[in-house]
Amino acid sequence: MLRRHARAACTALAAAGMALAGLQTGTATAAPHDPTPHPAARSAAGALGVDATRPEVLRAMERDLGLSRAQALTRLANEAEAGATAARLRQDLGGSFAGAWLDGADAGRLTVATTRAADTAAIRATGATPRLVPHGLAVLERAKEALDRSATADAPVRYVDVRANVLVVEEARAGAGARLVGATGVPGALVRVVRTTEAPRPLYDIRGGDAYYMGGGGRCSVGFAVTRGTTQGFATAGHCGRAGTTTSGFNQVAQGSFQGSVFPGNDMAWVAANTNWTSTPYVKGSGGANVQVTGSVLGAVGSSVCRSGSTTGWHCGTIQQHNTSVTYPEGTISGVTRTTVCAEPGDSGGSYISGSQAQGVTSGGSGNCSSGGTTFFQPLNPLLQNYGLTLKTSGTGPGPGPGEPEPGGTWSAGKVYAAGDVVTHGGASYRCLQGHQAQTGWEPSNVPALWQRL
């Protein structure tokens, strides 16, 4: 019987210098539609549990990002506040929004791009730096979708580089990018083709990061522990197995079986465990220590992120682009996030976490953890939503299942919300700013980093 061992840990976060003053002010202030925030409302850093970040996460950020412990804590707080600011501006700017990103060792500079000069004053008012660009994010993403439909492994990676305001196509064979653009009719002015020698492939080969073995052979890594009703299990990569594939755990004891799997298209799956296994709200950190998971708010471009896998263990880097498309030999997957974190075969399916916020599961990449590389993760929230799963988080009970209504409105704990979704709660309407799985304590009136009152 697998036993769960909880290790109590608390990381103190100094109030002084916790976050960039301008961003903190921008995110703590209520939206124009809501001049009187709820008295229980917390800052983004507080809501996302920055002060609960495990020492193992901080040590890995020190090692891989060259930060001191204090800088790592400041960076995580800045990332949380900036993410909320960027999400709110995306809603307010509408079609003129052209992306947002973080810079600086402590992620202290938020830049927000727009196609409309009239937006720059509103951006500055939040503490962010405006950047005027020719192409809106929605235009570039629609162009990428057109390329995705015709892409082959000769042009294996496509993504919107928000810093450069361009759609990037990486070509493995000379001329492949130009042929792809020409065949789809995407305007050449939107695209930059770059040559790559990388060949992304799935990283073949119940605590996040632990190994598990497929009945037909091969090893992958647990992503995040989940529940579905009373069933325990975990999220992982779709290319690791198909529905019905049996699994055994890191100790080679019979564990469960794949209940659903999508690959290619996406790279998502979940495994239901037998009654000998219990889901825990942890990811395996440095030295095998438990790193707690408190939620699933996706980090902004430029945010730090750490990965746990059964081959290479614990490594950190930064988020480069969201909504990337990758064409593996087996086919194209879309909607993954591109990162600078290294990985190797066997790490597939493993956990990506930013602070204590679950990000996604390892899909594939190139390079290794000796020379460095690029990896991609399947974001977790769409996976949870697709299979009706509830992320196991620390400090919370099982709570209501996905979609169960809460008194006083349509908001419900356990449901996955995307940016732009509108709910009611406590007699008011709210718009979701950052995608996440709702949980008790994150009611819309309590968390202005995640919800904007209408």
**Catalytically active residues, by annotation:** 239, 267, 348
3-state secondary structure of 262: strand
By the 10 Å C-beta count (0-12 exposed, 13-18 middle, 19+ buried), 129 is classed as middle
Question: Nearest Cα to 259, choosing from 226, 283, 284, 282?
Answer: 226
3-state secondary structure of 140: helix
Question: What contacts 24+ positions apart, CB below 8 Å, involve 10-13?
Answer: 10/51, 10/52, 11/51, 11/52, 11/53, 11/54, 11/55, 11/58, 11/73, 12/51, 13/45, 13/50, 13/51, 13/53, 13/73, 13/77
Distance CA 141, CA 324 (A): 10
Give Cα separations from 271 to 57, 222, 268, 330, 352 (angstroms): 26, 9, 11, 22, 18
Distance CA 77, CA 23 (A): 10
Distance CA 344, CA 309 (A): 9
DSSP type of residue 135: S
Residue 91 corresponds to which tokens in the numbers above?
């809603």
Strand 290-292 vs strand 304-309: parallel, antiparallel, or unpaired?
unpaired
Residue 254 corresponds to which tokens in the numbers above?
């019979």
Segment (H or E) for 402? none
Distance CA 391, CA 226 (A): 5
Contact indicator for 81, 126 with CB cutoff of 8 Å: no
* String of DSSP letters for 150-191: T--TTS-EEEEETTTTEEEEEESSTTHHHHHHHHHT--GGGE
Alpha helices, H only, 66-105: 69-93
Question: Nearest Cα to 432, choosing from 163, 187, 84?
Answer: 84
Contact indicator for 301, 99 with CB cutoff of 8 Å: yes
By the 10 Å C-beta count (0-12 exposed, 13-18 middle, 19+ buried), 267 is classed as buried
Q: Which amino acid is at 430?
A: Y
